[in-house]
Structure 1
């Protein structure tokens, strides 16, 4: 059986459970530093999803503008007949209008729809679904999907 002096000397050389736990926690915290960028933002964002309900492929160009006419979102979609493009890039800002051009036709401008997400009990900035209907008309429908800024 070791003497008390020898035991104290050994315990000073071996790390205690507490110091091992502290070192492990410090390593875990430092390892997670900067990972909030990977996990994404908690800022709510808008989105645009596009649906082609016609039989033939079409090109839809969508631009979302703020009150100053600046583009918050701009994207062109090449969509086959009766297909959709969902889960597009989120964006932030205060949208005022949606401008949609189908193929080479004159663009149409519509007011950004107010989905009243909070009144529906949904945590969402609100988005819009753009439908190219079989008769060639463009319809906008508000959405309340919860999307976060990238």
Structure 2
């Protein structure tokens, strides 16, 4: 609710307060859990391909949720419900797009030619994730994020 409120009224104190609280919650989570596919893949893309941090996270998150949906269905469903949708990945994508955020890695300067290398780097650095990392599926995730395709 914070992002649409701030977009509509940039100086709205309640919207900004809600956004600050949300940011604090995110920081608390990051300090309490292991990083999984979304966070690790974003650091691969940002560090290895010089993509901007926040925008990369915005683009990759709905695709990482879709990747993990079969392994963590209740968690992904809760995300969808929290955002007023049925599909967590689609609701996150729509939230970003509706608020003017980028939805495609190519819009950040990522090259199509670098997707295979990004996938290789991500596969070389194992990390805990609800769904095992599979090269073909991870490469498909990167392609969809590159193109800005709304998750199915």
Tell me which interval the TM-score lies in, with the shorter structure as reference length.
under 0.3
Larger-gyration structure (1/2): 1
What TM-score, normalized to structure 1?
A: 0.24
Structure whose residues are more often helix by fraction: 2
